[in-house]
Structure 1
Amino acid sequence: MATCALVGASEFNAERFCELADAGAFDYVIAVDGGLASLEEAGRRADMAIGDFDSLGYIPKGLRVARFSPEKDKSDMELAFDRACTLRYDEVIVFGGLGGRLDHTLANLNLFAAFSERGLYVTAVGLDQAVTFITGPDVYELPAAQEGTVSVFAMNDACTGVFERGMRYGLDDARLTNRTSLGLSNELQGEAVVIGVEEGTLAIFLPV
């Protein structure tokens, strides 16, 4: 699987990024506008920078750049996802796409779900929490962990055939909607976890 990392301007777990980068987890790294400054602060380089660069405040040099007008119908993050698709990556891991302005975070969560529905494997990593997306029919497996909280939410009007196994509270062939808190704060208990959905897209929030 070919993996592209997208790095936005919000705070993220730089230690986790460096661990994955050092392990060779990323085939390509795209800095999304102000995310370039975050990468440089972490002592890392991008393969490409994309955006209108209003957050960064200057046009980067010394790497591949895709510059767009600030007056556009897509966010810089969406443009970066488009580029990852054009480059035919199978998986996108986003850093700096959670936190910060609530409207930006909501827009990003909707984007992540939309690109999951287009066939990408999408995960976003924040400071102490990550969120991964699955579109049915699909399952997500989490190795055994002693503690932590997992929340599962529908990103559609309805997700059907939802199940959760290996946590304190189980679900079996459930229907989740995006108008309920059902799915919030399940508990890991030292067992391997399997979460699945038959139809629809789930956002699965996990400890980093």
Structure 2
Amino acid sequence: MSRFALLLGGPLLVTEALKERLEGFRLLAADSGARHALALGAVPELWLGDMDSSPPWLQRALKAPKEILPRAKDKTDGEALLERALALGAEEVLLLGGIGGRLDHTLAHLNLAFALAQEGLKVELTDGLTRAFPLLPGVHAFPLPPGTPFSLLPYPEATLGVEGARWNLPPTPLGATTLTLENEALGPIRVEVVEGRAVLYLF
């Protein structure tokens, strides 16, 4: 499987566990997301963007191949980088810095993640501490350790069910709700999306 980790501009907590997890992933960076490469001690194979948010010190410090995009464009640097990863044959995408920070970017990244999932890609967004997974209709299994906290969010409406949690839920139509916030895995969980789409959020 062709696996890509994309460094985006949102916050990212770099831990030893995250570094280990990135083994086997090809690393690409979008504009200021490249600053995370320094914390990871890694050099992306491509640094793409208009560089409007990458200060001179960062451009001096990180010796990665750069591709400069025009500032006047109809997509973010992150979306352009994602398109490049797809052109390179990505089958699994990890969006580092894809959640947290600016709400508009987080929501845009979630929408992009759903579009990728609809194309059959495996997608995850993380800030290094929390993780988010877009869920389309079907059954989704997650091998979580006992005690893992999670929320299951309709996005924006869905019929959802969950098994293997402290509070199981039979398939239930949900819209705007707090009913499925702050659950706890007893071990591996099974999420069923009957209709609509949802986000599994691990924290």
Above 0.5 in TM-score? yes
Q: Render the CA deviation track for 1:133-188: whole Å, top value 9, x for unaligned.
A: 22122413223x232321111224x323x2201111112222233x3333211122
Q: C-alpha displacement at 1:62, in angstroms?
A: 5.0
Say whether residues 1:165 and 2:151 are aligned partners. no
Q: Which of the residues 29, 33, 49 maps onto 1:51?
A: 49
TM-score by length of 2: 0.87
Identify which of 21, 33, 36 aligns with 1:35: 33
CA contact (8 A) 2:171 2:192 kept: no
Distance 1:66 1:136 in 2: 37
**In 1: Cα distance, 2:18 partner to 2:45 partner:** 15
Q: TM-score, normalised by structure 1?
A: 0.85
Deviates more, 1:52-61 or 1:86-95: 52-61
Query: Structure 1 residues 25 and 138 mapped into 2: Cα distance closer, same or farther (>3 Å)?
Result: farther
- Ranges in structure 1 where 5+ consecutive residues have no aligned partner: none
Q: Residue 188 of structure 1 aligns with which residue?
A: 185
**What percentage of aligned pairs have identical amino acids?**
28
Work out whether residues 110 and 134 of structure 2, in 8 Å CA contact, stay in contact via their aligned partners in 1.
no
- Residues 66-86 of structure 1, C-alpha deviations (whole Å, 9 max, x = no match): 322222211111112211221
Q: Deviations over 1:60-112 (max 9, x none)?
A: 88544332222221111111221122122111011112222222222222222
Q: Which amino acid aligns with 1:7?
A: L
1:6-17 correspondence to structure 2 within 5 Å: 6-15=6-15, 16-17=17-18
- Is the CA contact (8 Å cut-off) linking 1:121 and 1:133 kept in structure 2? no
Pick the structure with more strand per residue: 2
Which residue number corresponds to residue 106 of structure 2? 105
- Output the CA distance in 2 between the equivalents of 1:50 and 1:200: 34
1:147 is matched with which residue? 147
Contact 2:141–2:188 at 8 Å: present in 1 too? Answer: no
| 2:201 is the alignment partner of 1:205 | yes
In structure 1, C-alpha distance between the alignment counterparts of 2:174 and 2:115, rounded to whole Å: 18
Q: In structure 2, the residue corresponding to 1:14 is in which secondary structure? A: coil
Question: Match for 2:19: what amino acid?
Answer: C
Determine whether 1:90 maps to 2:91: yes
- Give the deviation of 1:31 after TM superposition: 0.6
Residues of 2 paired with 1:203 and 1:50: CA distance?
A: 28
